[in-house]
Amino acid sequence: MLTPHPYLTTRSHGFLPSPVRDVWEASMRPGVISLAGGNPDLTLAPLEWLADASARLIRDRGHEVLQYGAGNGSGGLRESIVELMAAEHVHADAAGIQVTAGSQMALDIVTKLLCEQGDTILVEDPTYVGALGVFGGAGLRVEHVPMDADGLVPEALRERIRHLAGEGRRPRMLYTIPNFQNPRGVTLAESRRPAIVEICREAGIPIVEDNPYGMLAFEPRRLTSLHELDPEHVVYLGSFSKVLAPGLRVGWAAAPGWMRRPLQLASESTVICPSPLSQALAADYVAHHDFRGIIANAAAVYRERATALRQALVPLLPAGSELTEPTGGFFTWLTLPEGWTTHALLDAAIDEHVVFVPGASFCAPGEGARELRLAFSFETPERLAEGARRLGLAFERTAASVAA
């Protein structure tokens, strides 16, 4: 390991390398099937329309969309975001929307507002690795709370808060991804949602609800937003990355009243204003394009891919494995039997020309050694089936070393 430069702060050591980037090189080799990155498939995005709309916007409104813009985002986009959220049955107020450069930035500034260095926060076990990078860089103590097939477990949350209180630690926030969770693919049961909100409200813990995948449900369904259950205690993060294009870098926070002004100031001091050109494209997509149709089509394609991967993989799994069954989003999570390690499997998988992300990076320190995340969003059903076949060969090779 490199010795950190003495000019660098302790906090700077907290930023984590992305485990997706760790397998990036292997995934770029010719012929490799990647089940690693959580990338949307941009063949499902309206690229022709985006090309025309960009040219038109620059030609007709160049002096506006290439100029600095409002610190909290354009009024037009904030209205469009309210409409997009309404399509997911989430009610929000345009005045409470802060537009950001992707929801990653929203998480970063919300964390700055809610947490001091050394504070404790609660997250799901496992959780989105990009969030762990934000929390590491902010110098936070991260407590992972167990999940099951129905998402975060309310009793476990209550117990953890009680236990921490005994140590004189009050968590400063709960970070949760209730819908089609990254990396586990599970969804918080409707019956648990009011309980989670109530437990946190009673304990004085604000919730950060991260929902980039909620619109990509495989079956139409209503998922109650935690923000809607308690708009004054829950900050909602949304994104155009998975339902339009991540390269536009447009996300947002729907914030409680008390957070709006500090959030805008924190955002302005980070990026001055979110990109007006990207915002205008995102607003046009909602206002003048069939965004509902495009997203519904994408969800149907992702569903077909999830099924293709599952059907090909299940018969090949080592006895005693567990594979989550997502009902939307991009990911499924595999737990291998006792005695197996994901890192040994990854070496064998790379030899077989298939890659995935080992689970440990998403979990509490020391956990996740026999778990892994598989993304089905990017490859075709045929390639996913072939990827599963190659994983099957990797299982066979690794089984020999487990038995040895």
According to CB under 6 A, which residues from 127 to 166 bind ligand PLP? 128, 130
Q: Please, which residue, 177 or 254, has the CB nearer to ligand PLP?
A: 177
Q: How many residues bind ligand PLP (CB under 6 A)?
A: 14
Q: Is 357 in the site for ligand PLP (CB under 6 A)?
A: no
Minimum CB separation of residue 388 from ligand PLP in Å reads 23
E-assigned strand segments in 73-213: 97-100, 120-125, 141-148, 151-152, 174-176, 207-210
- Find, among 352, 366, 334, 364, the residue nearest to 396 by Cα: 352
Span near ligand PLP by CB under 6 A; candidates 102-110, 159-167, 342-350, 353-361: 102-110
Which of 111, 176, 225, 239 contacts ligand PLP by CB under 6 A?
239
Partners of residue 98 on adjacent β-strands: 253
Question: Alpha-carbon distance 303 to 151, whole Å?
Answer: 20
Q: Does residue 246 touch ligand PLP according to CB under 6 A?
A: yes
How many residues belong to the chain?
A: 404
What's the per-residue H, E or C state across 24-56?
HHHHHCCCCEECCCCCCCHHHCCHHHHHHHHHH
Q: State how far Cα 155 lies from the chain centre.
A: 24
Q: Which helix (H) or strand (E) covers residue 66, if one does?
A: none
Contact between 38 and ligand PLP per CB under 6 A = yes
Closer residue to ligand PLP, CB minimum distance, 327 or 398: 327
Site membership for ligand PLP, residue 284 (CB under 6 A): no
Min dist. Cβ of residue 389 to ligand PLP (A): 27
- Does the protein bind ligand PLP through residue 278 (CB under 6 A)? no
179 binds ligand PLP (CB under 6 A): no
Tell whether residue 376 is a contact of ligand PLP (CB under 6 A).
Answer: no
Choose the binding region for ligand PLP from 27-35, 42-50, 100-108, 356-364 (rule: CB under 6 A): 100-108
Q: How far is CA 325 from CA 306, 362, 376, in A?
A: 9, 18, 12
- Side chain identity, residue 261: R
> Does 251 help bind ligand PLP (rule: CB under 6 A)?
yes
Contact assessment for residue 124 and residue 152, using Cβ atoms and an 8 Å cutoff: yes
The answer to whether residue 103 forms part of the interface with ligand PLP (CB under 6 A) is yes
Cα separation of 130 and 101, whole Å?
14
Nearer to ligand PLP, 218 or 318 (CB): 218
Q: Which residue is nearest to ligand PLP (CB)?
A: 102
Asked if 187 touches ligand PLP (CB under 6 A), the answer is: no
Q: How far is residue 108's CA from residue 101's CA, in Å, rounded to a whole number?
A: 11
Residues at the site binding ligand PLP, with contacts judged by CB under 6 A = 38, 102-104, 128, 130, 177, 182, 210, 212, 239, 241, 246, 251
